[in-house]
Amino acid sequence: MAKKDIKGLFSSENHKWETPDLIFNDLNRVFNFTLDVCATNKNTKIPENYFSPADNGLEKDWQNNVCFMNPPYGRDVQDWVKKAYNESLKGTTVVALVPARTDTKWFQDCWKADYLYFIKGRVKFKDEDGNSTGSATFPSVLVIWNYKENFELNFEGKLIKL
């Protein structure tokens, strides 16, 4: 991987990092997702139903879906978290993979979730072509809004029921 590509993972230069299959497949086993709310045609996990940047999922209605969200990790992450929380108030289940930046203002909507699952270690994302990258320089958390059932995941982490 080129130095420029690695730099993009650790900055706001590139927002198109694909969720590792190990994480998504285990989440999908539990939640049975019906919509990937912010993806590209190359990195979507739900090819039959996703919002691309051209669709602008921030302006779409997510109701009547079980949503997976791996948002862009730049400054826009705050808009995606707010949207996820607001959609959950309408009855939509949303599972988001976001940086565990508990000190940020946008993370306050994460504390309103039903569950937080702090992933052990650092996530090894894929680039837009499906190639593995180095580990992220930040910890990650799954934020789960509007889901009341108990569940277990097969990858290590710490589940907190709020």
User: Domains in the chain and their CATH numbers?
Assistant: 3-161 (3.40.50)
For all residues of the chain together, what is the average pLDDT? 89
Residue 136 confidence (pLDDT): 85
Whether the pLDDT of residue 1 is over 70: the answer is: no
Residue 54 confidence (pLDDT): 96
* Among candidate residues 86, 87, 81, 45, the one with its CA nearest the CA of residue 63: 87
Please give the average per-residue pLDDT across 55-68, as a whole number.
97
Residue 89 confidence (pLDDT): 97
Structure tokens at 154: 């097969």
Q: Which residues 6+ apart lie within 8 Å of 27 measured at CB?
A: 33, 68, 95, 142, 153
Q: Which residues of 65-93 are buried (b: 16+ CB within 10 A; e: fewer)?
A: bbbbbbbbbeeebbebbebbbebbeeebb
Residue 15 confidence (pLDDT): 57
pLDDT-derived band at 49 (thresholds 50, 70, 90) equals very high
Please give the average per-residue pLDDT across 106-111, as a whole number.
94
Whether the pLDDT of residue 7 is over 60: the answer is: no
Please give the average per-residue pLDDT across 109-121, as a whole number.
96
Whether the pLDDT of residue 60 is over 70: the answer is: yes
Whether the pLDDT of residue 130 is over 50: the answer is: yes
- Going by DSSP bridges, is the β-strand pair 93-99/140-145 parallel, antiparallel, or unpaired? antiparallel
